[in-house]
């Protein structure tokens, strides 16, 4: 058996080791959906960030440094046996890491809520996660020793993970995976920057649901039309991102326009793209990368 301790990257690494230990071969053999034949070694996953929720999800991500892409393995055989989420283990995390991982969790909740694969149970978890994360992320970033804020974040990321592990994600993750593979940008930061731009693109396909995202984030939407509510959700995301110190664009992180085409092509092929509420093509992806600069 394995015991994994840490945030998303160590947990994903542990899941890869568990699959290779029982199935053999090279990790590249398992890219895609349910490729492995046998269950992983039993894993006890002790999570220390809020977070990727890797300790409860059906997938793991490993970077192929040669191809500069993040390989996504969706695999029922990688589910851990016991997940441990103790917010006291998260008290000492630095503000920058708390912000990035927290925005990743918010992205999971919002994408799981808007994805084509969403259903009643995943919606309930996603909306509650959006609420918990919106209420507590800024406090957890600015006052890292606040156990109540850390507890809400630990719970929020955990149910966001259950939601997206069952419903799926969307094009924010598809595009963020390329920034991770190409520039090694932190996953949460890439998601946080892209999230408002992708959801603005998605508005025509999920206007009412985005209005409900705004409500879950604490915006008073009673007198708003669906479109006003959807735009309010995007504003609320941008406001939270800025409040926790996420950079406002990709340019300041060294992203170059000349890489957009390759990243856009790879993003379309990403396993998360099929779940996006609106159909998307390479030109759309390039335009979204451009708007996020
Ligand atoms: Fe993520």
**CATH number of the structural domain spanning residue 16:** 3.40.50.1970
Q: How far is the centre of ligand 1, averaged over its atoms, from the C-alpha of 219 (Å)? A: 24
Q: How far is the centre of ligand 1, averaged over its atoms, from the C-alpha of 225 (Å)? A: 30
Which of 85, 118, 135 is the C-terminal boundary of a domain? 85
Q: Is the pLDDT of residue 14 over 90?
A: yes
Q: Is the pLDDT of residue 170 over 90?
A: yes
Q: How far is the centre of ligand 1, averaged over its atoms, from the C-alpha of 143 (Å)? A: 23
Condensed to tens digits (0 to 9), the pLDDT of residues 39-86 reads: 999 999 999 999 899 999 999 999 888 887 888 899 999 999 999 999
Q: How confident is the model at residue 207 (pLDDT cuts 50, 70, 90)?
A: very high
- The 10 Å Cβ neighbour count of residue 52 is 26
Condensed to tens digits (0 to 9), the pLDDT of residues 226-245 reads: 999 999 999 999 999 999 99
Q: Any residues with CB less than 8 A from the CB of 69 and at least 6 apart, and which?
A: 63, 177, 178, 181, 266
Distance CA(53)–CA(44), nearest Å, equals: 14
Q: How far is the centre of ligand 1, averaged over its atoms, from the C-alpha of 51 (Å)? A: 8
Q: How far is the centre of ligand 1, averaged over its atoms, from the C-alpha of 218 (Å)? A: 23
> SS3 of 45, please?
strand
Q: How far is the centre of ligand 1, averaged over its atoms, from the C-alpha of 188 (Å)? A: 7
DSSP code, position 26: -
Q: How far is the centre of ligand 1, averaged over its atoms, from the C-alpha of 37 (Å)? A: 25
If we measure between CA atoms, which residue out of 93, 101, 186 comes closest to residue 143? 93
Same domain, 6 and 139: no
Alpha carbon of residue 2 to chain centroid: 25
Which of 36, 56, 85 is the C-terminal boundary of a domain? 85
Which residue's entry shows tokens 């926790």? 244
Burial label, 256 (beta-carbon count in 10 A; 0-12, 13-18, 19+): exposed
Q: How far is the centre of ligand 1, averaged over its atoms, from the C-alpha of 9 (Å)? A: 11
DSSP for 52-98, please give it.
Answer: --TTT-SEEEEEETTTTEEEEEE-GGG--SEEEE-GGGGTT--HHHH
Of 124-128, 140-144, 148-152, 179-183, least confident by mean pLDDT is 179-183
Q: How far is the centre of ligand 1, averaged over its atoms, from the C-alpha of 192 (Å)? A: 10
Q: How far is the centre of ligand 1, averaged over its atoms, from the C-alpha of 105 (Å)? A: 7
Tokens of 289: 């990368």
Condensed to tens digits (0 to 9), the pLDDT of residues 82-127 reads: 999 999 999 989 999 999 999 999 999 999 999 999 999 999 999 9
In a domain, 141, yes or no: yes
In a domain, 90, yes or no: no
Tokens of 104: 């990743």
If we measure between CA atoms, which residue out of 51, 289, 35 comes closest to residue 183? 289
Determine what percent of the chain is predicted with pLDDT higher than 90. 94
Condensed to tens digits (0 to 9), the pLDDT of residues 243-278 reads: 999 998 999 999 999 999 999 999 999 989 999 999
Q: How far is the centre of ligand 1, averaged over its atoms, from the C-alpha of 242 (Å)? A: 19
Expressed as residue numbers, the domain containing 135 is 95-291
Q: Any residues with CB less than 8 A from the CB of 225 and at least 6 apart, and which?
A: none
Same domain, 164 and 54: no
How far apart, in Å, do the first and last CA atoms of the chain sit? Answer: 44
Q: Is the pLDDT of residue 285 over 90?
A: yes
**CATH number of the structural domain spanning residue 276:** 1.20.1090.10
pLDDT of residue 251: 93
Tokens of 269: 């092929």
Beta bridge pairs of residue 43:
2
Q: How far is the centre of ligand 1, averaged over its atoms, from the C-alpha of 102 (Å)? A: 10
Q: How far is the centre of ligand 1, averaged over its atoms, from the C-alpha of 104 (Å)? A: 5
pLDDT of residue 92: 87
Question: In Å, what is the CA distance from 238 to each residue of 62, 233, 263?
Answer: 29, 9, 23
Distance CA(120)–CA(167), nearest Å, equals: 10
Q: How far is the centre of ligand 1, averaged over its atoms, from the C-alpha of 176 (Å)? A: 8
Same domain, 264 and 287: yes
> SS3 of 4, please?
strand
Q: How far is the centre of ligand 1, averaged over its atoms, from the C-alpha of 222 (Å)? A: 31
Which of 33, 57, 85 is the C-terminal boundary of a domain? 85
Q: How far is the centre of ligand 1, averaged over its atoms, from the C-alpha of 216 (Å)? A: 20
Same domain, 48 and 104: no
Q: How far is the centre of ligand 1, averaged over its atoms, from the C-alpha of 60 (Å)? A: 10
pLDDT of residue 67: 85
Q: How far is the centre of ligand 1, averaged over its atoms, from the C-alpha of 107 (Å)? A: 7
* Paired sense of beta strands 43-47 and 82-85, if any: parallel
Structurally, the chain folds into a number of domains equal to 2
Please name the helix (run of DSSP H) or strand (run of DSSP E) that holds residue 33, with its range, or none: strand 32-33
How many residues does this entry show for the chain?
293
Same domain, 154 and 80: no
């Amino acid at each position: 058996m394995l015991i994994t301790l840490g945030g998303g990257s160590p947990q994903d690494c542990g899941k890869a080791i568990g699959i290779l230990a029982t199935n053999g071969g090279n990790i590249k053999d398992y890219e895609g959906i349910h490729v492995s034949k046998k269950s992983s070694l039993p894993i006890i996953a002790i999570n220390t960030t809020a977070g990727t929720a890797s300790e409860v999800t059906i997938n793991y991500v490993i970077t192929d440094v040669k191809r500069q892409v993040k390989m996504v393995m969706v695999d029922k055989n990688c589910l851990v046996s016991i997940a441990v989420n103790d917010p006291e283990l998260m008290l000492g995390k630095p503000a920058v890491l708390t912000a990035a991982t927290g925005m990743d969790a918010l992205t999971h909740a919002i994408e799981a809520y808007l994805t084509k694969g969403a259903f009643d149970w995943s919606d309930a978890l996603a909306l509650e996660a959006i609420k918990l994360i919106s209420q507590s992320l800024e406090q957890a970033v600015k006052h890292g020793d606040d156990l109540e804020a850390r507890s809400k974040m630990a719970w929020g990321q955990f149910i966001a993970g259950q939601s997206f592990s069952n419903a799926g994600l969307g094009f924010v993750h598809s595009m963020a995976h390329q920034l991770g593979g190409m520039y090694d940008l932190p996953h949460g930061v890439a998601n946080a920057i892209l999230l408002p731009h992708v959801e603005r693109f998605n508005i025509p396909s999920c206007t009412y649901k985005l209005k409900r995202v705004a409500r879950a984030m604490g915006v008073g939407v009673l007198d708003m039309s669906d479109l006003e509510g959807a735009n309010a959700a995007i504003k609320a995301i941008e406001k939270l991102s800025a409040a926790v110190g996420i950079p406002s664009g990709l340019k300041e992180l060294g992203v170059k326009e000349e890489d957009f085409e390759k990243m856009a092509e790879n993003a379309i092929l990403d396993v998360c793209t099929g779940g996006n509420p609106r159909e998307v093509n390479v030109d759309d992806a390039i335009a979204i990368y451009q708007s996020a600069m």
